[in-house]
Amino acid sequence: MLVSALITGAILIFIYIVTTRFVHTDFVDRLTQQSSLEVLHYASPEVKDVMPEGSFSLVNPSTSIYSKDKKLLYRKGDYDIPATWIGQLVENTVFNAERNEYTTVGRRHIVDGQLYLVFVSDKDLPGERELTFLLRAVIGGWVVSLVLSYLSGLYFANNALKPVTRVVEEVKQITEDNLSYRLHFSKDVASIDEIDELILTFNALLSRIEKAFRSQRRFVQNASHELKTPLTAIMAEVELALTKDRTHQEYQRTLTVVMQETERLATITQGLLTLARLEERSPDSEMERVVVVDLVERTLNAFSLHHPDRAVFRDGEIPNVIVMGSSHLLQIALLNVLDNAFKYSEAPIRISFNRKGKNIVIGIRDYGIGIPVAELQRIRSPLFRASNAGRVPGAGLGLALVDRIVSVHKGAMEIVSKEGEGTLCLVKLPVVE
């Protein structure tokens, strides 16, 4: 509104200034014409019958006519002409001046071979009245335009903000208990405006938030279940052992169960902590140049140390390439994939290596129970386990950790599986040229 008021004011001021200059120029022209008429009346009286006085709409003009030697020949009215003005007109053909609200023009005229110096002075009272009226009209028009701009601004602002107000009221109704609620918008594609675009974007954001909340709830439920199971087993064994005196073998069995469940509990806790750290920040400080050959050799040696009776066959040579990343985290990722292959398959595990463009792809294949197709999308979720996992030990954190570690290394993990035939996990990492 302020900008429109300034623009309107500038336009009105411009109109007033232009009109003022026009009125002044027109008045000077009429005084000049009057000077021509006055000298004709003086030098040729018969002209009065053809061109009477008052022909140029002047109120009370004063006229002074001088000869070329500055002698006063004729005077009408009581306005005195200073001698300096006469001298200036002798030197110049045109003279204009303003004094005491009077405008004076001086012109040199030649009539019948005689040079006359003619001065005509008058007040432009009609012009002043017109300019005063125009000034009032300009100020009044500006004030009216301000009022109209303010009122129209309020009207259009209220109309424009009504959809926003409605959206705000709808947003206030959304809580963590009704994240499925969506903001209403125009269903007609042709009538969709910016507010509808904003609503569509916000609804998409709500969908992502709802998905994240559901994932978080599943995570908490699964974590509670996974943590509760070993704790329940430990408490049951200890309570049973305390009911009466036991033999040495019975106490040994109880401690063995407690140790196994404690190790499982520690594994789950460590996995959750590692996942939480990776979700919180990227391991930029640990990034270094990692030789893939050395990484794979260390990983396979560590796997063989824990599972000496299981064979891992290599398909092809390991490419001599370098990736940028954390050697420790990348080894954890590959060990988790190998551990999964070991747990769900008794057949030998195969590991392959392929260079694809600017990436190295490490594939680990098992020939075990596989993953149901309907569950492949959720297999990366923390603490999610496939429905056919049965009593195979595990916490459902392995692939979630692998996926997050590969992601922070700007890579990708792909899982190809068929139930009953096995699983292929592909880890793709960018190569440093």
Residue 149: the pLDDT is 82
Residue 106: the pLDDT is 93
Task: Give the pair of three-digit tokens for residue 348.
Answer: 């030998």
Task: With beta carbons less than 8 A apart as the criterion, state whether 360 and 292 touch.
Answer: yes
403 lies in some domain = yes
Class of residue 101 by CB neighbours under 10 A (exposed 0-12, middle 13-18, buried 19+)? exposed
Distance CA 401, CA 393 (A): 17
Task: Give the pair of three-digit tokens for residue 146.
Answer: 């301000």
Residue 366: the pLDDT is 85
Q: Within this chain, do residues 329 and 260 fall inside the same structural domain, yes or no? A: no
Number of domains in the chain: 3
H or E stretch including 149?
helix 125-172
- In order along its 433 residues, the chain shows pLDDT tens digits of 677 778 888 888 999 899 999 999 998 998 888 888 888 888 877 655 555 555 567 888 889 999 888 899 999 888 888 989 988 988 888 999 988 889 999 999 988 888 999 999 999 888 888 889 989 998 988 888 888 888 888 887 777 777 777 777 777 777 777 777 777 776 665 566 777 788 888 888 888 887 777 767 766 665 665 666 677 778 887 877 778 777 878 778 888 878 877 876 776 677 666 666 666 556 666 678 889 889 888 888 888 888 888 888 888 888 888 888 888 888 888 888 888 888 877 788 888 888 888 889 989 888 888 888 877 777 777 666 776 666 666 666 677 888 888 888 888 888 888 888 888 889 999 988 7
Domain range for 343: 282-430
136 lies in some domain = no
Q: Among residues 131, 159, 177, which one ends one of the domains?
A: 131
Residue 370: the pLDDT is 82
146 lies in some domain = no
Q: Within this chain, do residues 111 and 225 fall inside the same structural domain, yes or no? A: no
In terms of phi and psi (left: phi > 0; alpha: psi -120 to 50; beta: otherwise), the region of 394 is: left
- Which residues are within 8 A (CB) of 346 and not within 5 positions of it... i.e. 6 or more apart? 368
Q: Within this chain, do residues 312 and 367 fall inside the same structural domain, yes or no? A: yes
Residue 2: the pLDDT is 72
Q: Within this chain, do residues 111 and 6 fall inside the same structural domain, yes or no? A: yes
138 lies in some domain = no
Calculate the alpha carbon distances from 379 to 21, 328, 400, 416 in Å: 85, 23, 8, 11
Q: Residue 58 sits in a domain of what CATH number?
A: 3.30.450.20
| Cβ contacts of 370-373, under 8 Å, gap ≥ 24 | 370/417, 370/418, 370/419, 370/420, 370/421, 370/422, 370/423, 371/415, 371/417, 371/419, 371/423, 372/419, 373/417, 373/418, 373/419
Q: Residue 362 sits in a domain of what CATH number?
A: 3.30.565.10
H or E stretch including 276?
helix 248-280
- Chain segment 90-116, per-residue pLDDT in tens: 888 899 998 888 999 999 998 888 899
Q: Within this chain, do residues 304 and 344 fall inside the same structural domain, yes or no? A: yes
178 lies in some domain = no
Q: Within this chain, do residues 43 and 122 fall inside the same structural domain, yes or no? A: yes
Q: Within this chain, do residues 368 and 293 fall inside the same structural domain, yes or no? A: yes
H or E stretch including 361?
strand 359-366
314 lies in some domain = yes
Q: Within this chain, do residues 217 and 324 fall inside the same structural domain, yes or no? A: no
Q: Within this chain, do residues 301 and 420 fall inside the same structural domain, yes or no? A: yes
Helix (H, G, I), strand (E, B) or coil at 206: helix
Q: Among residues 100, 131, 162, which one ends one of the domains?
A: 131
Q: Among residues 224, 242, 276, which one ends one of the domains?
A: 276
Residue 8: the pLDDT is 83
Q: Within this chain, do residues 268 and 370 fall inside the same structural domain, yes or no? A: no
Q: How many CB atoms sit inside 10 A of residue 109's CB?
A: 17
Distance CA 171, CA 181 (A): 9
102 lies in some domain = yes
21 lies in some domain = yes
Helix (H, G, I), strand (E, B) or coil at 73: strand
The percent helix, strand, coil of the chain (3-state, each to 5) is 55, 20, 25
Q: Within this chain, do residues 306 and 242 fall inside the same structural domain, yes or no? A: no
| Cβ contacts of 284-288, under 8 Å, gap ≥ 24 | 286/326, 286/328, 286/329, 287/324, 287/325, 287/326, 288/324, 288/325, 288/326, 288/327
What are the beta bridge partners of residue 418? 422
Q: Within this chain, do residues 244 and 303 fall inside the same structural domain, yes or no? A: no
